[in-house]
Amino acid sequence: MKESDNIIRKYKQFILLEKSLASNTVEAYLQDLDKLLSFIQSERESRRPDLSLQNLTYGDLQQFVAQLKDQGIQARSQARIISGIKSFYYFLLLDGYVTADPTELLESPKIGTKIPEVLTVGEINDILDSIDLSQPEGQRNRAMLEVLYSCGLRVSELVTLRYSDVFFEEEFIKVEGKGSKQRLVPISQPALHEIKNYLYDRNLVKVKKGFEDILFLSRRGTALSRIMVFHIIKQQAELAGIRKNISPHTFRHSFATHLLQGGADLRAIQLMMGHESISTTEIYTHIDREFLREEIINHHPRNRKG
């Protein structure tokens, strides 16, 4: 059996058992993967005999997506294929077949505005309250999720946040976002309080060289991975009884939505989130309108049943 066949067999087990996907969805994902394998095979035969699933680059994937367009595959189908490929490389990363995800920057074609999932303030509190502070990483996780929500950070910004970039007196943090662009973001008193509590535990960690200034450390004394943060959030949401499909980005969406609902200026939200364009931030106006619509449906006397 070829190594690629063995990897795909394990991936099928992963999406069937661990992701609990429906059988028709599994087959669709595998068919999409076949398209990528065909692309790799054609590249091998033409000019790159050593190309494989494990050494595929972001540039290769861009070429693959360009070929999908040339074949006349519609944007919605392209998006589904890219989603399947991203799922596959997430599995490869988890199982140690690759050390970096080449699909990380791969963008799907625009197929209309999709309103992201958001959490209510109560749900955020439930997740934070579900953290067991008696566990070694409990206070770290609580501080980390409080910062994620209070500052609206990307998960990549959270795991690279430095202790020296937390200004306790001024109540700001310095964040390095996309393209190494830096911004100052206000941080709440509760978040600063949780960080101060976490520092007692952090001082007990044997820090690896090069990670001395990283704020949130793994038990091995290194920076946390984005996947680890994803798993922590999934676990805490489950413990809190929340059934929404959430990720670290859900905290960022919730941060912006709650600011908008509270009357914050869209331009201020853009600056805090580090969006290049105001049009990116404008999606939260759609979320706010949807929230208002649901409030009217649920609470207006003309809509009450019985």
Query: Which residues contact residue 278 at a Cβ distance below 8 angstroms, ignoring those fewer than 6 apart?
Result: 266, 267, 270
From residue 158, alpha-carbon distances to 51, 136, 167 in Å are 34, 20, 15
Q: How many CB atoms are closer than 10 A to CB 247? A: 17
The two structure tokens encoding residue 256: 């912006």
Euclidean distance between CA atoms 218 and 225, whole angstroms: 9
Specify which residues 176 forms β-bridges with: 182
Spatial CA neighbour of 250 closest among 115, 113, 104, 118 = 118
Euclidean distance between CA atoms 82 and 100, whole angstroms: 17
- DSSP for 151-176, written as a single string: HT--HHHHHT-BGGGEETTTTEEEEE
104 in Cβ contact with 155 (< 8 Å)? no
277 in Cβ contact with 286 (< 8 Å)? no
Going along the chain, which residue ranges are E strands? 166-167, 172-176, 182-186
The two structure tokens encoding residue 197: 């509590």
Spatial CA neighbour of 34 closest among 59, 12, 62, 1 = 12
- DSSP for 268-286, written as a single string: HHHHHHT-SSHHHHTHHHH
Give catalytic residues, as residue numbers: 154, 178, 249, 252, 275, 284
106 in Cβ contact with 86 (< 8 Å)? yes
